[in-house]
Each structure stands twice: as C-alpha cells, then as structure tokens.
Amino acid sequence: MRRWDGWPLRVAATILAATTASSAAPTAVPTEVERDPTPASHYVVSTGEDQSADAQGYHSGCADGQAGRPGLRILLFGTQEKDGRIRPPGTTVASPAPRLTSDWPAHHAVGWMRGFTECGRANALLALGVNNKSDGGADPARAGAAWATLVGRVAAVAPAGRVVVAGALDGEPAWSDAGWARHWADAYVRGTPRTLIAAGSADGCPADASTVSCAHGWTVADVFHVSTGAATTVVALPQIYRTDGIQARQWAAISAWGVRSGAGPLRVVGALSQRAACRQQSGCGRTDNSADDARTQLTQALAADQATRTTVPLVSTDMDWPNPPPSP
C-alpha cells in the first residue's frame, strides 16, 4: 500500500502553521472571532463598474485581515466560458449576470492580498478557484491551463511570509461529464507546480464499497482523480455540507477505494462548509453544517479505517456571499 509522500503533509502543516506574524493583536477585531475562528471563504461576485476589481478585492481582504483568522481560504470566481470570460458563481449560461474579463480575478486577488496584509497580521493560504460547469462551452484543457497561468501571475506578487497562493477547483459531477473535469485538472497540474485545492462534491458516490458508480456518469475513480490522483500537488478539501454525515462517509469510501486500487488514500487537508452562505439565503435544507461539525464528521469517517486515517488534524473554511448572489 502506497502512503502519502512528505509533500502533502507539508502542505497541511503549512496551512495549520498559518499564525499571526506579531504577538500584538490587531485592532478592532470583532468579539465573535473568539467564538468562531474559522477563516471565511468567498463566492466572488462583481459589484459593478462603480468599483474596480482591485478595490473590491481590497475591501474584502481588509475585512478578512481585521477578523484576524489565519489559515486556508478560497475565493471562488465562478465558471470559465469559451471566450475566456468568467461567469459569476451560482449562475447558468442563460443568466443575465455580467461576465468578467479573464484579468478580473487576478486584479481582485491582488487587491485582496493587499487589504489582508495591510489591515491585519494573520497569514493565509489563498486558493483562487473556479467550478467545472461546462455549459459555457469552455475547452477544459485550455481552461485548466489558463487558470494555472493566472494562479502563477498572482503568486508572483504575493507578499512573502504572509500569503501563499494556490489554485482551487469546485468540481461537482452535476456540472460536467467526468472527462471534462479530468482534462481541466490534468491541464492545471501540467501548467503550474502550485497546489490545487480540490473543493468539490461526490454526488451520488457510495458511502461503502458496494459500488464504484457515482451520479451523472461519474465513478469513484473520476472523483479520486480530480481530488488527488491527477498529481501530488492536488489535495482534497471535500464539501461536507450535510448535517447527517453522509458526505463524510462518501469521501472516506473514496479514500478507501484509493487504498484498494494501489493509488493510496486521498490527500485530505480539511473540510469545506457553507453555514455562512446558508444564513445569507434560504434553501439550504440540512446542508448548513458548521465548520466544526464538518471537520469532525470527516475526521471520524476517515478514522474508521486505519488506512485512510489522517496523520495531521484537518483544517476548515466556511463559504459566504460577501455581495448578494447574482440571478441564476
């Protein structure tokens, strides 16, 4: 049985070691930080032409910096379309929501880093992400390569010692065929050595070894590939939204499949929740796990099998909508 090499463990340790750069506490830190230390991740939606990408990013990053929460966080920009533009998260190809230029996410991320470091003292692993919706007609190989280039551009200007930049893919079986997602992940890892955080779902996958079939024509092997198998630079941050724990058991079963197949367990670094986003809009229905519950469910599910048990504590981050979501 092949175990993780040292590299994924160092990634996890880097996330866990994201501590404040000064013993002096930042000013004006909200009191609720002490009760909820989980770093916020954001669905990023443009506020319009009245505010530039850099300025909007700065405002968001400054708020995160003032909150003083170190660790892993994701900026999810939505869907890549065939003309290279970006459609906001939570929308379909028919949405009237304005599309963004391919440079917009980079400018937003640079503004976020400037605001985060100027307004607080915490460190962050910042993952810039898109989803695998294929309805916009994007070629997956070109889209993955383009995102690798964008991540590299932002990483080149990241403030040393404060922010480490990675990529992210919100890969979900409901949004594309498995081949599209595989080609995207393969192109990304060929294009950059930067970490890819796989912040996806395992729609319809089994919670045991009874089958290898998932929903929408995907298999357990497909989910494993885009979450770990594509390269040693890919690590998993599974969506553990449901309060009944089924998603944690699905991901544990996928990790166990990796062990049985000889590929090794999933390189799981943490759990993704969406409680903040659920509180901002209705319709979550038992998918509003807290960050702590999501992490606990996944930790316990993986620990049920010695071969999939994590060797370092899992981290967590919680999604929100800093701006009103666009029309779908």
Does residue 179 surpass a pLDDT of 70?
yes
Query: For residue 328, what pLDDT is reported?
Result: 76
- Residue pLDDT, tens place only, 202-228: 999 999 999 999 999 999 999 999 999
The phi, psi pair for 7, rounded to 5°, reads -65, -50
Query: For residue 135, what pLDDT is reported?
Result: 97
Long-range contacts of 188-192 (CB under 8 A, 24+ apart): 188/144, 188/145, 188/147, 188/148, 188/230, 189/148, 189/230, 189/231, 189/233, 189/234, 190/145, 190/148, 191/144, 191/145, 191/147, 191/148, 191/149, 191/152, 192/148, 192/149, 192/151, 192/152, 192/167
47 band by pLDDT with thresholds 50, 70 and 90: confident
Q: Which helix (H) or strand (E) holds 182?
A: helix 178-191
State how far the Cα of 105 lies from the Cα of 89, in Å rounded to an integer: 12
Beta strands in the chain (DSSP E): 40-43, 71-76, 79-80, 86-87, 124-131, 163-170, 196-198, 234-236, 270-273, 315-320
- Residue pLDDT, tens place only, 111-140: 999 999 999 999 999 999 999 999 999 999
Query: For residue 53, what pLDDT is reported?
Result: 93
Q: Average pLDDT for residues 225-236, to the nearest whole number?
A: 98
The proportion of the chain whose per-residue pLDDT surpasses 90, expressed as a percent, equals 82
**Which two structure tokens, joined as six digits, stand for 267?**
């390189």
Residues facing 126 on adjacent strands: 73, 165
Does residue 19 surpass a pLDDT of 60?
no
Q: Average pLDDT for residues 59-67, to the nearest whole number?
A: 96
Does residue 253 surpass a pLDDT of 80?
yes
The phi, psi pair for 268, rounded to 5°, reads -85, 125
Query: For residue 88, what pLDDT is reported?
Result: 95
Please give the C-alpha separations between residue 165 and each of 94, 159, 184, 313, in angstroms, as whole numbers.
32, 10, 19, 21
Query: For residue 1, what pLDDT is reported?
Result: 30
State how far the Cα of 255 lies from the Cα of 264, in Å rounded to an integer: 8
Query: For residue 77, what pLDDT is reported?
Result: 97
Q: Average pLDDT for residues 82-100, to the nearest whole number?
A: 95
Does residue 29 surpass a pLDDT of 50?
no
**Rg of the Cα atoms in the chain:** 18
Q: Average pLDDT for residues 285-314, to the nearest whole number?
A: 95
Q: Are 133 and 328 in contact (CB under 8 A)?
A: no
**Which two structure tokens, joined as six digits, stand for 222?**
């497909």
Q: Average pLDDT for residues 134-161, to the nearest whole number?
A: 98
Query: For residue 316, what pLDDT is reported?
Result: 97
49 band by pLDDT with thresholds 50, 70 and 90: low
Please state which of the ranges 80-84, 103-107, 314-318, 322-326 shows the lowest mean pLDDT: 322-326
What's the predicted TM-score (pTM) here?
A: 0.90
State how far the Cα of 59 lies from the Cα of 54, in Å rounded to an integer: 9
State how far the Cα of 157 lies from the Cα of 119, in Å rounded to an integer: 18
Query: For residue 35, what pLDDT is reported?
Result: 39
State how far the Cα of 321 lies from the Cα of 328, in Å rounded to an integer: 14
**Which domains, ranges and CATH numbers included, belong to the chain?**
6-22+32-320 (3.20.20)
Query: For residue 11, what pLDDT is reported?
Result: 52
Q: Average pLDDT for residues 252-271, to the nearest whole number?
A: 97
31 band by pLDDT with thresholds 50, 70 and 90: very low
Does residue 283 surpass a pLDDT of 80?
no
Q: Average pLDDT for residues 162-186, to the nearest whole number?
A: 98
Query: For residue 17, what pLDDT is reported?
Result: 41
Q: What is the mean pLDDT of the chain?
A: 89
Q: Are 212 and 221 in contact (CB under 8 A)?
A: yes
